[in-house]
Amino acid sequence: MAVEKHLTVRDYLEPRYAAAAGSRVARATRKGLASFQQVLKNETLKPGKDVSEGMRVSEYLKNPLLRTQTARLSRATASAAAGPRSTEVNAEADSARRSQLLEADRSALNGRCRFGARSSPSTLDQLRAENASGHPVEKSVQQAAARYNLPPDLIRGVIRAESNYKVDAVSSAGAKGLMQLMPETAKELGVTNPFDIRQNVDGGARYLRQMLDRFGGDLKLALAAYNAGPGAVEQFSGDVPFAETRQYVQRVLRYAGLKA
């Protein structure tokens, strides 16, 4: 049984498609074309209403919204796809730059020292930081400072100038330990093991106290006597001519944060 093909809008508007579909369809198309065009004409001339009734066929043909919206959607999709990727790259670059700046700041801060250039990993600042955890050198410094009425910074300054906090330091003259006690001096002070942290710091602080008392509390003379011996200070009436001793006094004062 033959099925009758219904005419479409396209058949009315473009009869050549209807002709291709068959003679019966073509005839029906030609017959209805005039009436359909009249409908479109009347629809165009019809005055607008207050209430919208939706898009008419003629309006759709003049305003192909679907094609326009599709193009806009494609552009928006492409922009959205590119946007986050670009933002991500910029964010990663900014994060890398911030990390480099922070690392540079940390390096600069680590290179500073309160009393001058950092000479080795074992410095006065590190010992102070370790005080909270009970570092044995710092504990000995605090105990000796309290026992002999000395500023802790002064003892730290002598230790740094003498051995730079090396517990097993030995000089060419035979001085030993943190505060570089000579064997005879260590024996007089009752230090049996100059490499024992507590004994060495206690002995050096006690000797420094003795020098201060001997020279009337004059710190520069006491430090000069600690380095060159009290006999040299007395021999030169306090003006020791040795460059090493003069530099030593200035260095200890600087490390201790005291005025030269």
Residues designated as active site: 162
- Per the CB < 8 A criterion, the answer to whether 76 and 52 are in contact is no
DSSP calls for 38-106: HHHHHHHHSPPPSS-----HHHHHH--HHHHHHHHHHHHHHHHHHHHHHHHHHHHHHHHHHHHHHHHHH
**Cα–Cα dist 205/148, whole Å:** 7
- Per the CB < 8 A criterion, the answer to whether 211 and 230 are in contact is yes
Strand partners, 170: 176
Residue the block writes with tokens 């410094």 = 141
Within 8 A by CB and 6+ apart from 173, the residues are 182
Report the amino acid identity of residue 14.
E
How far from chain centre, in Å, is Cα 195? 40
Residue the block writes with tokens 């479109």 = 40
